Amino acid sequence: MKVIFLKDIPFTAKVGEIKDVTTGFARNFLFPQHFAVIASEAQLKLIERHAQGRLMKHEKKVKKVRDMLKKIQFMKLKMRVHSNKAGKLYAAIHAGMIVLELKAKKYEIETQFLHIPVPIKRVGEHKVELVDGNEMLGTITIEVVGEASE
């Protein structure tokens, strides 16, 4: 049975992909959970229109990130977090924390565009990459300042 996938399913298919699957898998899993629909001409046209819309939205987001990067690529983002006296953080800094700090400075970005190559667990300067899939858009510098607690 040929189906069109409506959602990403890890190790199976991505959105908009057309695959041949067993009837039982389609009826018992894919259709009830709205992961796929039967591949027909009408569905193909509808999916194609949705894919174009998603692509345009994604391109707008990437353009927005590129424009924002021009403004902040030379800026150091300073983050204050709790650490011990040796400079080790009690909790690692993750992409969500960086997004919140950027929002506080009036820069909008989504966590999907941030890639932290090495977990940030120590005080000091760290580089965070801005990526879109496999394409690297640029880097920003994060300065982690520890607040030693007793």
User: 132 is written with which tokens?
Assistant: 């879109």
Q: What is the pLDDT of residue 3?
A: 92
> Residue 28's pLDDT is what?
95
Predicted pLDDT of residue 20? 93
* Block mean pLDDT (10 aa), the chain, length 150: 88 86 93 92 84 85 80 83 90 91 87 87 91 80 83
Nearest to 9 by CA among 1, 26, 23, 44: 26
CA 96 – CA 128 distance, rounded (Å): 12
| 32 and 12 assigned to the same domain | yes
Structural domain for 19, as ranges: 2-60
Residue of 84, 89, 114, 120 lying closest to 100 (CA atoms): 114
How many H-runs (helices) and E-runs (strands) does the chain carry?
3, 9
Residues 74 and 97 in one domain: yes
Tell me the two tokens of residue 129. Answer: 């990459």
On whether both 72 and 119 belong to a single domain, the answer is: yes
User: How much is the pLDDT for 150?
Assistant: 57
Do 93 and 114 lie in one domain? The reply is yes
pLDDT at residue 149, as a whole number: 63
Indicate if 53 and 75 belong to the same structural domain. Answer: no
What is the distance of C-alpha 110 from the center of its chain? 6
Radius of gyration of the chain (CA): 21
Number of domains into which the chain is organized: 2
